[in-house]
Chain A
């Protein structure tokens, strides 16, 4: 069945939709989930409405009628909330190792290091409704703090700012310390960094030594020894897009199987089965390519 789009000549009264109480309540829920209850969330909610209504609802006019107007507004609101965070707390580029790990890690880093939210509150919100596993979020936070010792420290602490654009300019210079040193320079960047990330992701108590030059050389050696086999593995892996997305959402980003299943339109129980089957094929491919996962993880 082919979808039908709204008549392009139709006019949607965006103000009516946005200022309806239900949508305003939705925005408040989203900002509270992101920043906790309080002044910052209220500030963010105001920003979202301003963002949507800017320049005579210009952003809303990009609506093409494919989704329902309400879900479109929610997706716009989600973007606006992150834009608020960037304006309010700066736009430093996350370290490459963090970017590789994905959205949840970046959001955690922003919450922890830039927005300086308390960790217990972050864990509560990240794991609300079982969306993520608390232990995994706590472990990720330990890793970030191990890598970025200055995470969350800073002299600036102001919540009452009227001109958010001016603040945005001011905070840029203050946030560079929250990135940590850049990823070590490897001779074989792709494979060596991948080895490093695998090692980091399994550490229960991550230490900054992993990023030190002595360890760097070890990852480079590992990459040299196994580079060819890793490329063979790349060819041997035959994961579907759905499997790749699920593995990343569940195993790397730490989202619950339940939420992942729902988001991908799968029955509640099937995430475990699909992921287990994919893992089985990954382990088989590792063996076929002569790669010992345990050896890779231990010898770095």
Chain B
């Protein structure tokens, strides 16, 4: 999006939200209710299956009332944004607190011990809560088309396109590559992405992979690989021509999501994706996102160089 367009949208948004702001209809939410709303939004599941397990969750009616207050009341909105920023600082997964025991005793020791144990498991690599939160943070729903479409819609233009960009990075083909069905799906997505980008963008000397068993993939795996192929196409050029952190963050999130459907796939390409795109990135997320997106796009393209 050009700067002029984004400025127009900002002005139009300001106009719209200011004109639309009515009076808050309901009682302003407490800070605790705002925290509950955020936790509710971030939590993947709300379960009361376990004994002594209570789900903290807002009543849907009250949740709607709180959203009304945030939209209508500037002070409430300010508190909301402050809380969101705090959650971002600490990691959104900290707020994805959908479960806690209700074993609060008068002495208090039991509750504290529970929390201590829970936080210890939360911080352990591979702990269930970490994995659950990490999965939720990614796009859980396999709506890859919509996600990729949005990405191309938001970032698939350049203010200054190259006159003809055949390849921007020098890659050497590995001679030991054996293609499989996964490569075919990625390649299909790659070609689709290049078509979307337009004639100015071309990656020269690509060979279409041949594989014996094209039916080895499930429908979901095929979709995930094609999505990664499309993401590879746009990322390949963004990594050379430059892009905003937001682009890399969104691409990274989509790649993290897609790889979840490839967890059982025995394939060199799937292993490449899994080894490159990490799951639980908290620190320096923006730089890691760019690094891993660019690394994966380069290595995937390298697989098809003739």
Contact = CB atoms under 8 A, between A and B. Distances in A.
Interface of A: 1-4, 6-7, 10-13, 16-17, 20, 22, 26, 29-30, 33, 62-64, 66-72, 74-79, 82, 99-104, 106-107, 128-131, 133, 194, 197-199, 201-202, 204, 230, 233-234, 237, 239, 241-242, 244-245, 247-253, 255-259, 262-265, 267-270, 272-273, 276, 278-279, 282-283, 286, 293-294, 297
B108 A11 contact: yes
B285 A12 contact: no
Contacts of B207: none
Interface of B: 3, 7-21, 30-36, 38-42, 46, 48, 54-59, 64, 67-68, 70-71, 74, 77-90, 92, 94-95, 97, 100, 102, 104-109, 111-112, 115-116, 119, 123, 137-141, 143, 146-151, 153-154, 244-246, 249-250, 253-254, 257, 285-286, 289
Contacts of A204: 3, 7
B32 A263 contact: no
A159 B55 CA distance: 44
B147 A267 contact: yes
A17 B115 contact: yes
Given A1-B55, A293-B11, 9 more contacts: A13-B111, A63-B32, A75-B32, A102-B81, A103-B82, A107-B82, A267-B139, A270-B150, A272-B153
Contact of A75 (B31, B147, B285): B31
21 contacts: A2-B59, A3-B57, A11-B106, A30-B86, A63-B32, A66-B33, A72-B31, A79-B79, A103-B77, A129-B285, A239-B20, A242-B67, A247-B13, A250-B13, A252-B10, A263-B42, A265-B41, A268-B147, A268-B250, A268-B257, A282-B12
B94 A283 contact: no
Given A103-B77, A130-B246, A257-B246, A267 B55 contact: no
B31 to A, nearest CB: 4
Chain A binding surface, main DSSP class: helix
A78 B112 contact: no
B252 to A, nearest CB: 9
Contact of A16 (B30, B48, B68, B108): B108
Given A102-B77, A262-B42, A286-B12, A16 B112 contact: yes
B16 A237 contact: yes
Given A68-B100, A269-B254, A1 B249 contact: no
Nearest to A27: B90
Contact of B81 (A6, A64, A103, A270): A103
A68 B43 CA distance: 12
A241 B42 contact: no
B14 A201 contact: yes
A130 B83 contact: no
A253 B153 contact: no
Contacts of B139: 267-269
B290 to A, nearest CB: 10
Contacts of B97: 67-68, 70-71
A252 B107 CA distance: 48
A46 to B, nearest CB: 18
B275 to A, nearest CB: 22
A30 B91 CA distance: 11
B147 A269 contact: yes
B138 A268 contact: yes
A120 to B, nearest CB: 16
B39 A282 contact: no
Contact of B31 (A13, A79, A133, A197): A79
Contacts of A69: 115
B11 A70 contact: no
Contacts of B33: 66-67
